[in-house]
Amino acid sequence: MRIAIGSDHAGYRLKEAVKSYLLKQEYTVEDFGTNDTKSCDYNDVATPLALALVKGDFDRGILICGTGIGMSIQANKIQGIRAALVHDVFSAEATRLHNDSNILTMGGRILGDDLAFKIADVWLKTEFSNEKRHQRRVNKIES
């Protein structure tokens, strides 16, 4: 699975930890930045990552900022993106099963490494349910 990952300055530390974890799990990971804790705008990372995902360059994306909120809002501006802000394992599974989310957003100022790893694991390993009611709802999102 090809994973695109990115963060702003507030999510940088957690992004680096999650990226390292995913590489150890043998995922293919491309980092869209940022590359340090110098202040930057989350928009400048979320948009290129989301566009690359929609283009088909990646299977899924992970975006991390201070709360995950800004990244989620920005990514969801791109047609074809279903970014889900997740801070617990149950929601990570549900958003894949029910919403077929293709970008996971998390808060670097909210989550510890171990919980972020568990969330990423569940989110990456859970497939969309393909149940008619969920597909109908995803189709409505896309239209």
In this predicted model, what pLDDT tens digit does every residue of 40-49 receive, in sequence order? 999 999 999 9
pLDDT mean over 62-79: 98
Q: Residue 38 sits in a domain of what CATH number?
A: 3.40.1400.10
Count: domains in the chain: 1
Q: Which two tokens stand for residue 79?
A: 């047609």
- Is pLDDT above 90 for 142? no
Q: Which of 40, 65, 87, 134 is catalytic?
A: 65
Give the tokens for residue 71: 């990244």
The backbone region for 61, taken as left when phi is positive above 0, alpha when psi lies in -120 to 50, beta otherwise, is: beta
pTM above 0.85, yes or no: yes
Window from 1-10, 14-23, 24-33, 130-139 with minimum mean pLDDT: 130-139
Q: Show the domain range for 54.
A: 2-142
The rounded distance, in Å, linking the Cα atoms of 24 and 52 is: 23
Residue 65 designated active-site = yes
pLDDT value of position 89: 98
Long-range contacts of 138-141 (CB under 8 A, 24+ apart): 138/82, 138/99, 138/100, 141/82, 141/99
Bond from prior residue into 34 cis (ω within 30 degrees of 0) = yes
Least confident range of 68-72, 106-110, 125-129, 137-141:
137-141
Q: Which of 9, 40, 87, 98 is catalytic?
A: 98
> Is 40 among the residues known to form the active site?
no
